[in-house]
Amino acid sequence: MIKSRLCDLVGIKYPIIQAGMGPFSNNNLCVAAANAGVLGLLSTSGVFNKDDQPWIYNDFVRTGEADYDDDMATVLEKVLKRTYRLVKDKGGIFGINVMVSAEVLPHSQVMVDTAIRVREENPDMKKHFKVIFTSAGDPLGWKDKIKAAGFTWMHIVPSVRGALRCKKAGVDVVVASGHEGGFHTSWEPVHSMILLPAVVETVSDKDTLVVGAGGFCDGKTLAAALVMGADGALMGTRFLATQESDFHQIWKEGVVEAGDRATLVARGFVGPARWLKTPRSQEHAKNTLQKSPGVFLGTPDDYATIDMSLIEFEIESIKAAFEGNKEKALLAAGEAAQRIKDMPKVDDMVQEIVREAEAILRDVPKRLLA
């Protein structure tokens, strides 16, 4: 059986993390992933959208056994308790993904504070709710709160510089996210084959683990991550296209049907984003080139400088995805979409990934070493 330091650190069977994908709820997907022996991550960004995108918020509330009139902290508390109830008998391990970008920082504080409080009030939950995963922002300043509460802390970065920032901040697991990844990507396009080994060489040691993200979707790519020195792989698009995934059927089918050269990059909520290639996303890319060229030049902009019609277009398109309107939908996905051809159950998929990776890793010495 494949086992890595990641398995030992958080108590999972296999060195795989299911990405905490938003903006929709992934409450059911997280349960399925945790019960399949990998780390399941709950998305929390949907809880931020009650006023401006109520259709997302309502979906999060509905699948999390919460109420529409609950405040943000209460919604997350109910989601955490539901997840714990559904994974504890199978030994599932889960965490939350919290965006910590400047635009949402007040919400981030509520999410982290609530997670800490709920776990302290339910001590047995500590055996299963083990991880706080931060993303889309600066890790500095979170250590005392997250690690003092006993959580394993993971943070995702797109660069060696970001990995060093994580090291300085005291992050336990640095997730190196190559530009192949879906939805939010980095301003500078460094891909996994370059980024992952560089981050491993720079920060991996007895106190800091490294996980690869961006393009990882099967046994071949998991084996590659491990051979490059990583402690595991985070997979998003592969988990999106599963039977238990909460994402709309048109989104899941879009991934399965994507084919060769299936994605492009255009503006997203917090910077560049990778979308499935459709007439709608191609229109968005053309508008991005005119109104936010920094997406293609590596020059960040923000809500103070950007033409907000791009963000309004994205909001309209995400709502269309939620409603099943293929013509107007923007569907985020990584480059791995072109390698995904089916929509299996999560447990079957995980078992196949692990079997393939084990077979490859056993065969490499026989084929290549004298």
Give the tens place of pLDDT for each residue, 267-285.
998 889 999 999 999 999 9
Instruction: Tell how strand 209-213 and strand 183-184 pair up.
Output: unpaired
Residue 180 is encoded by which pair of tokens?
């192949």
Apex 130 CA angle, 125 and 132, nearest 5: 125
- In the predicted model, what is the mean pLDDT of residues 105-131? 94
Domain coordinates in residue numbering, the chain: 5-247+349-368, 263-332
CATH superfamily of 5-247+349-368: Aldolase class I (3.20.20.70)
pLDDT at 102 (0 to 100): 73
The tens digit of pLDDT for each residue in 290-305 reads: 999 999 998 888 888 8
125 pLDDT higher than 70: yes
Report pLDDT digits (tens) over 333-350.
999 999 999 999 999 999
Question: If pLDDT is split at 50, 70 and 90, which confidence band does 1 have?
Answer: confident
DSSP tally for the chain: helices H, then strands E? 15, 11
Q: In terms of DSSP H, where are the helices of the chain?
A: 5-10, 27-35, 54-63, 72-87, 105-121, 143-148, 160-169, 192-203, 219-227, 237-240, 249-256, 279-291, 294-297, 309-323, 346-368
Cis bond leading into 106, ω under 30°?
no
Question: Structure pTM?
Answer: 0.94
Average pLDDT, the chain: 93
Question: How does pLDDT run across 63-73, given as a tens digit for each residue?
Answer: 888 888 888 89
pLDDT of residue 196: 98
Residues 199-223: pLDDT tens digits?
A: 999 999 999 999 999 999 999 999 9
Burial class (CB in 10 A: 0-12, 13-18, 19+), 206: exposed
Rounded Cα gap, residues 292 and 294, in angstroms: 5
**Both ends of the chain: CA-CA distance in Å?**
24
Other CB atoms within a 10 A radius of the CB of residue 296 amount to: 15
Residues 131-159: tens digit of each pLDDT: 999 998 899 889 999 999 999 999 999 99
Residue 36: predicted pLDDT: 98
In which band, very low, low, confident or very high, does the pLDDT at 87 lie, cut at 50, 70 and 90? very high
Q: pLDDT > 70: what percent of the chain? A: 100
Confidence (pLDDT) at 370 = 63
